[in-house]
Amino acid sequence: MYQVNLIIGFTNIIVGLILIALFTPLKRGKVKMNKFYGIKIKKSFESEKNWYDINKYGANRFIIWSIPLIIIGVFTFFIPLYENSIQFWIFLFAPLIIIIPLIEVLNYAKKL
């Protein structure tokens, strides 16, 4: 196994696990409105209900999208990556998958 596989694989797995750990309290509704932790968009600060609704929805979306990131990290250990290959770039930029739930949260907030 190549060293680049280990680095990219572990990075994707760790990012996925960190996202799950960070968003689990939000999903459970255990984080009160604050300026430091949570999904902090203008709409979420308009009311207590919006805060919990947006954070629960957003946390759910981020947790769901963390699972493919972890799976990509595991697959990285078994697929040879060469720095000039398309697979290398796909696996390297896999953490950008978090853009998808961010867009979903923004769309959800517009509907509130």
Full-model pTM:
0.86
Q: Can you read off the two tokens belonging to residue 26?
A: 């939000």
With contact defined as beta carbons under 8 Å apart, do 40 and 50 qualify?
no
With contact defined as beta carbons under 8 Å apart, do 39 and 55 qualify?
yes
Among 16, 4, 29, 1, residue whose Cα is nearest residue 85: 4
Q: Answer with the residue of higher pLDDT: 2 or 48.
A: 48
Q: What is the pLDDT of residue 97?
A: 87
Question: Which pLDDT tens digit goes with each residue over 43-94?
Answer: 999 999 999 999 999 999 999 999 999 998 998 888 877 666 777 777 778 8
Domain ranges of the chain: 3-111
Q: What is the pLDDT of residue 4?
A: 79
% of the chain surpassing 90 pLDDT: 68
